[in-house]
Structure 1
């Protein structure tokens, strides 16, 4: 544990005592949101991102330590554990280093080398390697034994060679040298599987491709691996990019240098050279290829998961429209537009289905029905799902509002991703047992405008559709990362315990699904909670769970004014002391900006509550229950622009950022097909990370710079003075030389024009990921 604390402290650049405190809190059952918000003195003010990183690394390092113990025990049982080896094992900092050291001692199936050793050929291998003056054939002649499977000199020498190859291929230091060289100099190459050119056309940019291992961006790496998995691409490691096939590999030179081999025309040198060459070509090249491709994939998956997590956070933390009566519309053509109206609390007031489109064309009837529901239920907001026929539905609502000026409602287009998943879920069936599945989606669309966070937590995070290659990454790691995002968002906003659903409550710090259900059941049976203390009466709500959850659960208009704030019950005494010292009632202290800004937090510091906590308390009292989410705004889509064919180059539009990837941002401009703003078109200045400029949910102005109607692709720019390009030509398959030139552009100045073929390929890949 001392070593783990020291390593974590170095990685996070903090004190070991901070690390120790966090480890004790985590091991004691505290959650990251609770530690970040209410234990700042103990952790030295570590924020939630640092705590998440610490938590993740702690798991890795503990697994590393457990594996280290297993390996030492295994080698010791073999009576092969020397003090030097044990020291190396204890010094290993990664699982890869540890497994390299264990490789020679790891139980394995019988190999050619082991069979040769069992046949007594190890003296041949040792003699020829240590004494190259020996004649290989003469040495081998004494070890021919047909009964043991070595009937001639050649088979004896092959067996001896296998012994040495396997021995050398298990040298940890050699593996380390090769790994470092290949990572710095090797290339990943791709070629099309013969006969798959037409079927795999979407991967044509990679039919003849090569790029440095350490420079491949995550989205390109995942596209390559997807092409291989779908049977269209072959991927290989090129250890010597630019070298002719007849030249020897630099990797072989590294092996020779490590083994201190030099060909001096001695009798055994040709045989020894074969040992060196075959050690690389037969034993190590495939091993390194598999390992380094795994490293690329692991890195690419981590980056993709981070993109997904960042986009999910932006979507969950989108501005809520608030507690207003809302009509939700789930657009459809033949099946009609599903309609649902919910009240300020999200309770369903009425549902219907209208058929304004083909084949029924009941436009007038649809307008009358919608207007009647708006008037009957006093609708203030109309939430329109952005799926098929959303723009036509948007126009229908605009016509309805024009024809019925007494309807004072604002129409808003919302992202309907995941609504169908929720509609068919067990949760939706429990909530609306008598409602048609299609109408449940309309309810969800209405609620997600009122409060995106409260509604989206009901949907499995990866079904929300804001990821990059989400089905190509580790599903367990993806789920773990997204669950952490949801937990952080829910606790950052806080939850009204008298309004929250079970899915929302179970994301609160310290609450399990069972406890969340118990809270709702208790609320249904006993009525609304009047105080946080009353939560202790909920079955299975113990002191620890209460400690973790109480500060994030809000009770507006309860018996205790502080219960509606983020002040934790454990700190109520501090607030009462502040009120007493300033001779004001507790209720009048809350929100008293003039008084609170004059107080010195240091005056209330004691053994239990330090300066960070007191400062947080005063800030919270100034604006109790403040929502960290931004102000609600809507985008105005251009009238008459409803499909890609309606777009023209140089057209300036307002749109909503739906997704941010490493290569740019996707923007919904209201034509059922998101346009791509490449990273080079986000700003006039250099951009290394698109998220520095935009995030999901942002409303932006963009200009159309290129249209590819055949492939339904839209290229946009946020540099509104940028000139449109010529119409896109059908892209040709790139050569390795062209790719090398382009791929070296990983360091490319973002002010350079976007390669339209690559832009289209990226759009293709991302659209496929979203569809999945």
Structure 2
């Protein structure tokens, strides 16, 4: 390709190639990827696409739909950066054929940024200076000529530049040195070389850590008192190191507690690359060694550290996401009067009674260690007074002692009452939050914590969405991973769970509504304000009266918002309003428990211009309306 402004400007991102790559990675059809990408560009959300546009994308599940979206955005960002770098190098008049090939074949952002790095600096590289001196032709000759012929050829490049003295080539030796610098940079820019050295280092390299002795301490004391004792004098093959160890090592390095190095055999890399290359002279041999030792090897080591950290981040975030999903999908214990118990020792244990809907009834304090008899009597009296059916005990400090007293009270006095232990992660964050103050302005934050314990049992999802997902404490190393990536992923998980479970439009809080497909924080506030001003919303159609909720937002959110008070039973199902006419034709057959034939499915599909998959989904929903996916997850363990 000729490097002209016209040709460079003509370079465009090929989105079809990106989609083909994604289809191959996910083992799905190109048309399916294309459908997801198009729907996202139209403003559709992942939950909406997954549930209500199955015909378009061939019934991909939510994970596949989300992967298509993530990968397309990621690869498109890579291609945009590739073009930016190409144009940046071209604008500096430094784009060569080998550099163009390297930029176009780079597969990661790290590779691209390494190629771009020399051009960001004001200081030119040795190879750049050599090219400015006109030595690139001598570098080409170095690849094919024998030693004697090359040295003879080099004489042609000796010159004096009176206008720009620094571009003069004073001797044959200077000419050959410049040509070697060009070859060295070509070696380091070659993506095949980079991949080869990367694989070699992963197979044979080690991560090595050494403890740093703080000033004023002996090494013996420093090692004994270090949080990172196991890594004080530690090494492990790169191919075997586990993600959680990378996270711990990275944290220690940030805290200046460990010195971290990657132990690799550079000489082996040089030798193997030289063997792979057809070499005709010692200068080429030296250039390869210089390219590997000075440029390629350090870049590959940086990439390995970066890749190991990214993989550890992704592994950690994946575990945290799964933990959060399992917590949010805990089975609710609805319709039970609950006593929420927030254990404490120094300040006592806070207890709050709630009715079947989570309404606050009353509060008291017990001291299970200082006054166990008093605690017994107070619990006994409260269970009787508020007609408590389940006691929810937080799992914090003092929980074991409280559980023992609660168990004794129940066994001795109430055969139908049970208790269970509730995870109290993030409860203190909620108690002091603006949301908690708005809900219970007259109550102390310690009381709010006890209320939260009870409500987490009654409806974990509705209660936990009030807390920043990162504050729920979903993983051991959560503060060591990329916080932006973690926040985005956990928000996705909350949104996914909320839209899988569905939301009661008239009881949902702002915190819950803002995660619904098509609804943002601003729209959620408007829905709550509309409810406050006008009372309950009695149909999905009435949603259109909410200020700022336009046609697209209605399309995206309507199916996920349930209205139990509606006169139209479809408003309390997963059936989308766009398919109500089809559902009304099917409903009599289901109410009469008649068999739904394939002919009927085809007839409805044809008459209402919807796919047979959608018709089948409507039938499934009408036969078993409002199935709660949380019923498939473990229920709280009830104890006596």
Q: Choose from 391, 403, 413 the match for 1:382.
A: 391
Report the number of matched residues.
609
1:154–1:398 distance in 2 versus 1, CA, 3 Å: farther
1:221 matches 2:243: no
Q: Choose from 551, 562, 573 the match for 1:543.
A: 551
Paired residues of 1:188 and 1:213 also in contact (CA < 8 A): yes
In the TM superposition, what is the alpha-carbon distance from 1:365 to its structure 2 partner? 2.9
Paired residues of 2:209 and 2:231 also in contact (CA < 8 A): yes
1:335-375 CA distance string (max 9 Å, x none): 01111112222221112222232xxx233333333333322
In the TM superposition, what is the alpha-carbon distance from 1:451 to its structure 2 partner? 0.9
1:298 matches 2:307: no
Counterpart of 1:613?
A: 614
1:321 matches 2:333: yes
Counterpart of 1:22?
A: 36
1:380–1:272 distance in 2 versus 1, CA, 3 Å: same
CA distance in structure 2 between the partners assigned to 1:326 and 1:417 by the alignment: 19
In the TM superposition, what is the alpha-carbon distance from 1:292 to its structure 2 partner? 0.8
1:503 matches 2:511: yes
Counterpart of 1:12?
A: 26
Paired residues of 1:100 and 1:171 also in contact (CA < 8 A): no
CA distance in structure 2 between the partners assigned to 1:128 and 1:573 by the alignment: 77
CA distance in structure 2 between the partners assigned to 1:533 and 1:148 by the alignment: 77
State the superposition RMSD in angstroms: 3.5
1:72–1:366 distance in 2 versus 1, CA, 3 Å: same
Mark the runs of 5 or more structure 2 residues left unpaired by the alignment: 1-14, 214-218
Q: Choose from 65, 73, 97 the match for 2:79.
A: 65
1:328–1:108 distance in 2 versus 1, CA, 3 Å: same
CA distance in structure 2 between the partners assigned to 1:261 and 1:91 by the alignment: 24
Q: Choose from 629, 634, 637 the match for 1:635.
A: 637
1:398 matches 2:407: yes
Paired residues of 1:116 and 1:122 also in contact (CA < 8 A): no
CA distance in structure 1 between the partners assigned to 2:635 and 2:93 by the alignment: 71
SS of residue paired to 1:351: strand
Q: Which has the higher helix share?
A: 2
1:300–1:368 distance in 2 versus 1, CA, 3 Å: same
CA distance in structure 2 between the partners assigned to 1:68 and 1:283 by the alignment: 21
In the TM superposition, what is the alpha-carbon distance from 1:496 to its structure 2 partner? 0.8
1:34–1:480 distance in 2 versus 1, CA, 3 Å: same
1:429–1:198 distance in 2 versus 1, CA, 3 Å: same
1:565 matches 2:596: no
Paired residues of 1:345 and 1:499 also in contact (CA < 8 A): no
1:167–1:576 distance in 2 versus 1, CA, 3 Å: closer
Paired residues of 1:498 and 1:555 also in contact (CA < 8 A): yes
Mark the runs of 5 or more structure 1 residues left unpaired by the alignment: 241-247, 264-268, 583-588, 640-772
Paired residues of 1:33 and 1:509 also in contact (CA < 8 A): yes
Counterpart of 1:307?
A: 319
Paired residues of 2:106 and 2:191 also in contact (CA < 8 A): no
1:455-502 CA distance string (max 9 Å, x none): 111111121112241111111111111111111111111111111111
Paired residues of 1:193 and 1:231 also in contact (CA < 8 A): yes
CA distance in structure 1 between the partners assigned to 2:472 and 2:132 by the alignment: 61
Paired residues of 1:329 and 1:383 also in contact (CA < 8 A): yes
SS of residue paired to 1:629: helix
CA distance in structure 2 between the partners assigned to 1:633 and 1:120 by the alignment: 75
Q: Choose from 511, 516, 538 the match for 2:524.
A: 516
1:83–1:612 distance in 2 versus 1, CA, 3 Å: farther
SS of residue paired to 2:594: helix
Moved more, 112-121 or 224-233: 112-121
In the TM superposition, what is the alpha-carbon distance from 1:97 to its structure 2 partner? 5.2
In the TM superposition, what is the alpha-carbon distance from 1:561 to its structure 2 partner? 0.9
